[in-house]
Structure 1
Amino acid sequence: MSEYQFRYIVRLFGQDVDGTMKAPYGLAMVKGIGYNTARLILMRLGIDKDRRLGELTDSELKKVEEMLSNKSIESLPTWVYNRRKDVESGLDLHYVTSDLVFAVRNDIEREKKLKSWRGVRHSLGLKVRGQRTRTTGRTGTTIGVKRSKGAQPAGGQQAQKK
């Protein structure tokens, strides 16, 4: 066995992750992997969830990357995937990092092109998921209430006369 070496920075899916974090929390730092997904992946690979990410060997990290490289996680239930019934392929997929960002951007552009309700809301920069917009989500400068001259306080008029 080679000499044990702790790594403070671990390279996962093209980004640097803190090696002092426990393995599931470190994996959850990667976009597209949540805590529960990370625990399931580690459990499926037989890696202890209480180990630090910097303690994992190169072969264990490679197994984690290979498990997610083909965009599907073998032997895990479909509710774990972040893209179930993908529009283009019809398959259950799991995207990470820039692939996930690209897929979401394509979904939004497709809805804009279809001129669906969600697409119109996206293009106008409004809330999409049915939230209230009367008081929240306002953008731009704030505009106050303008007082009429009759509503000025009495002390202000006396100060001007003196």
Structure 2
Amino acid sequence: MSLVLPERFIHILRVMNTNIDGNAKVPYALTAIKGVGRRFSHAVCRKADISIHKRAGELTAEETDKLINVMTNPKQYKIPDWFLNRRRDIKDGTTTQVLSTILDSKLREDLERLKKIRAHRGLRHYWGQFACERPAHENYWQKGPHCRCVEEKVISYLHKAVMK
């Protein structure tokens, strides 16, 4: 089965400072934007009345603008608060969907705030350790040049060399 391309097919779309593959279907193409996952992209397509079976390169300029409008203002299109990725912001208390480069700046602000108040998670980020309280020994024995299996082989080799 071959794909018949329409006459105005765009192979690479530029949406919200992100290159989007025009060959992918719209919901999966939108996931290339930071802050947009599969579920949110499906909800955006439903609210914008765009078929999820359509390719991203087949979108018109009006449909692209409608998608951007729904993504930036999800509350106006009655997408529930629990669906958004930034609930009850520390500074202003609002619930929003943070996208693209704003997501990076918000994450940096949060980490700086955690470091400033000397929270445990902020200090772990500062030190470059795991911040999710994972035990340190989990990967210690399995990875790296000093893993347990390598050390045992070296010890057994040295032991055999000494015994000769």
Q: TM-score, normalised by structure 2?
A: 0.82
Q: Tell me which of 101, 119, 131 is aligned to 1:116.
A: 119
Counterpart secondary structure, 2:13:
strand
Look up the equivalent residue of 2:34 and give its one-letter code. K
Kindly provide the CA deviation profile for residues 115-153 of structure 1, in whole angstroms up to 9, marking residues without a partner as x. 011111111111111212123279xx7346464998224
What is the identity, as a one-letter code, of the residue corresponding to 2:41? A
RMSD of aligned Cα (Å): 2.7
Q: Which residue of 1 aligns with 2:22?
A: 19
| Residue 46 of structure 1: aligned partner | 49
Q: How many positions carry a matched residue from both structures?
A: 153
Matched, 1:100 2:108: no
Q: 2:11 aligns with which of 8, 13, 16?
A: 8
Q: What secondary structure does 1:126 align onto? A: coil
Determine if contact 2:44/2:71 at 8 Å carries over to the other structure. Answer: no
Partner SS state of residue 77, structure 2: coil
Letter of the aligned partner of 2:123 in structure 1? V
Contact 1:19 1:26 in 2 (8 A): yes
2-structure distance, mates of 1:43, 1:149: 65
Contact map agreement 2:47 2:77 (CA 8 A) in 1: no
Unaligned runs of 5+ in 2: 1-5
- Distance verdict in 2 for CA 1:17–1:30, change over 3 Å: same
Q: Within 1, Cα distance between the matches of 2:67 and 2:119?
A: 38
Select which of 134, 144, 160 maps to 1:152. Answer: 160
Task: Rate the CA distance shift 1:61–1:41 in 2: closer, same or farther, 3 A.
Answer: same
Q: Is the 1:72–1:92 Cα contact (8 Å) retained in structure 2?
A: no
Gaps of 5+ in 1: 158-162
Letter in 2 for 1:29: A
Residues 1:37 and 2:40 aligned together: yes
Aligned counterparts of 2:42 and 2:158: Cα–Cα separation in 1: 67
Identity among equivalent pairs (%)? 27
* Secondary structure of the corresponding residue to residue 14 of structure 2: strand
Change in Cα spacing, 1:29 to 1:102, as seen in structure 2 (3 Å) is same
TM-score by length of 1: 0.83
The structure having more radius of gyration, on CA atoms, is: 1
Output the CA distance in 1 between the equivalents of 2:77 and 2:43.
11
1:82-119 residue CA offsets vs partner (Å, 9 max, x unmatched): 10111111010111111001100110110001001111
